[in-house]
């Protein structure tokens, strides 16, 4: 194919240009601090009894942090298992060399997918007898036992066996010769709510339902089956939720899902969102800024144009509601956030120049802006903020 030559006579073949030549910090990027993850895991694990295992939940590319990096440091910090949402996420981790047990938290329901999971040493979450039979057949086909986790619904109404049916069906499942039940679990729907320690709360009722069910199927004596219930919020409530393993996402990344957080817990956010100033301009009083002209300058105003927008995953409904940090000072974002850029009022600063780096999320000096702050302003939850960041933002590992 003939390449269009913009510059007549220039030998493009002699100077090939590759994407990798671009500095990851050329525009906007996410810095991921692996050691923060490691420390968070170590600290969270110190709240568990010695025998209780820690599953690091690294779905959605490690909540936007890069699942490979997160897994590596979580394992260093003492995580023994990993949780992903999809088949592809699991295979990606396996091909990056992760050898720990991996549980697929989403549902795999076709024979084809369950074979792929088996061949990649991924454990599926099983919510029905039908899926269990497929796994048993696959195990038989290979002359092996297919390792899996059974899930029961205790109040989330998402995946999982119906709890009443489970008690009968478990009898049948136990007789399957080509599966190995590695775990039985359930998922909490509301552990991050304020009333979760109240005995009548839905969280406590879920826990009791789960316990009752386990009692009825009498698995306590079977030490090969791992029982697990807690997400981050559940694990932080108290030990009653820990069982044999906890499945932790958000708090491992450095954010507590609970408002009232234990005083002797100090989580460190692992992510920092940074962007370069691409342009600076000064506008007069009464000048409209950005699409729709929703911001009008009330005085002569110095604006910095930042190379990041909603196509990078900054919610557009944060327009005019966020600040950025530069050298321990906060500057307000003004006007509508656009697809690829946004403006910041830097009036009075002589230090910010074209090419300066400002912080959108993370800490600098004694200032911190958290995804929890953005979530509040954007009327969502920090989980959604974290996994909204697009691949256009390079992930850069720092320590
Ligand atoms: C995402 C997920 C978790 C982790 O939840 P956090 O609140 O982020 O700790 C645990 N268990 C299941 C089944 C999940 O889907």
pLDDT of residue 7: 78
Beta bridge partners of 275: 28, 358
Instruction: Report yes or no: 80 and 53 within 8 Å, Cβ to Cβ.
Output: yes
Which residues carry out catalysis?
A: 59, 291
pTM recorded for the entire structure: 0.96
- Give 92 Cα–ligand 1 centroid separation in angstroms: 19
- Binding-site residues sit at 158, 339
Q: Give the burial class of 362: count Cβ atoms within 10 A of its Cβ; 0-12 exposed, 13-18 middle, 19 or more buried.
A: buried
Which residues, 6+ apart, have CB-to-CB distance to 80 below 8 Å?
53, 54, 55, 100, 101
Of residues 297, 281, 273, 288, the one with CA closest to residue 354: 281
What are the tens digits of pLDDT across the range 65-109? 999 999 999 999 999 999 999 999 999 999 999 999 999 999 999
Q: Which residue has the tokens 């009232």?
A: 260
Residue 124: CB within 6 Å of ligand 1?
A: no
Q: Under CATH, what is the fold of the domain 271-398?
A: Lyase, Ornithine Decarboxylase; Chain A, domain 1 (2.40.37)
Q: What pLDDT was estimated at residue 264?
A: 78
CB atoms within 10 A of CB 88: 11
Residue positions forming the annotated binding site for substrate:
158, 339
**H or E element in which residue 29 lies:** strand 28-33
Residue with tokens 């086909």: 141
* 269 close to ligand 1 (CB < 6 Angstrom): no
Q: Is 254 in the pocket of ligand 1 (CB under 6 A)?
A: no
Beta bridge partners of 29: 274
Answer yes or no: same fold for 34-255 and 271-398.
no
Would you state the CATH architecture of domain 34-255?
Alpha-Beta Barrel (3.20)
pLDDT in tens, 127-175: 999 999 999 999 999 999 999 999 999 999 999 999 999 999 999 999 9
Q: Determine the average pLDDT of the residues in 359-375.
A: 97
Tokens coding 331: 């500057």
Asked if residues 294 and 318 have their Cβ atoms less than 8 Å apart, the reply is no
The pLDDT tens digits of the residues spanning 383-393 come to 999 999 999 99
Q: Which of 12, 23, 13 is nearest to 274 (CA)?
A: 23
| Average pLDDT value for residue range 199-203 | 96
Give the pLDDT score at 2.
59
Q: What is the residue extent of each domain of the chain?
A: 34-255, 271-398
Residue 1 has pLDDT above 60, yes or no: no
The mean pLDDT value of the chain amounts to 95
């Amino acid at each position: 194919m003939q390449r269009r030559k913009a510059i007549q006579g220039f030998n493009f073949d002699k100077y090939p240009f590759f994407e990798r030549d671009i500095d990851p910090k050329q525009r906007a990027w996410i810095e991921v601090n692996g050691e923060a993850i490691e420390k968070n895991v170590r600290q969270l694990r110190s709240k568990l009894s010695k025998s209780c295992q820690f599953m690091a939940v690294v779905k959605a590319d490690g909540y936007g942090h890069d699942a490979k990096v997160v897994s590596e440091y979580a394992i260093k910090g003492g995580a023994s298992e990993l949780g992903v949402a999809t088949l592809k996420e699991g295979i990606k981790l396996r091909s990056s060399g992760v050898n720990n047990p991996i549980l697929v938290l989403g549902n795999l329901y076709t024979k084809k997918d369950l074979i792929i999971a088996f061949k990649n040493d991924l454990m599926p979450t099983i919510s029905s007898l039908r899926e269990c039979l497929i796994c048993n057949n696959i195990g038989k086909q290979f002359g092996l036992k297919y390792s899996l986790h059974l899930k029961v619904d205790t109040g989330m109404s998402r995946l999982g066996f119906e709890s009443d049916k489970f008690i009968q069906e478990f009898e049948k499942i136990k007789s399957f010769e080509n599966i190995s039940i590695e775990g039985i679990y359930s998922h909490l729907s509301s552990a991050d709510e304020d009333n979760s320690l109240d005995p009548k709360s839905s969280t406590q009722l879920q826990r009791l339902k789960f316990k009752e069910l386990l009692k009825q199927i009498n698995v306590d004596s079977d030490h090969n089956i791992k029982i697990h219930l807690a997400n981050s919020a559940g694990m932080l409530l108290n030990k009653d939720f820990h069982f044999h393993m906890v499945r932790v996402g958000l708090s491992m990344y450095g954010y507590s899902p609970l408002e009232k957080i234990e005083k002797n817990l100090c989580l460190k956010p692992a992510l920092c969102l940074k962007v370069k100033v691409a342009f600076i301009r000064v506008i007069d009083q009464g000048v409209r800024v950005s699409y729709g002209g929703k911001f009008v300058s009330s005085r002569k105003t110095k604006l910095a144009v930042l190379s990041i927008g909603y196509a990078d995953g900054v919610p557009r409904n944060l327009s005019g509601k966020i600040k950025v940090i530069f050298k321990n000072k906060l500057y307000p974002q003004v006007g509508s956030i656009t697809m690829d850029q946004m403006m910041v009022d830097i009036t009075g600063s002589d230090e910010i120049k074209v090419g300066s780096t400002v912080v959108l999320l993370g800490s600098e000096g004694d200032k911190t802006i958290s995804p929890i702050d953005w979530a509040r302003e954007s009327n969502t939850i920090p989980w959604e903020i974290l996994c909204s960041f697009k691949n256009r933002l390079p992930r850069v590992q720092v320590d």
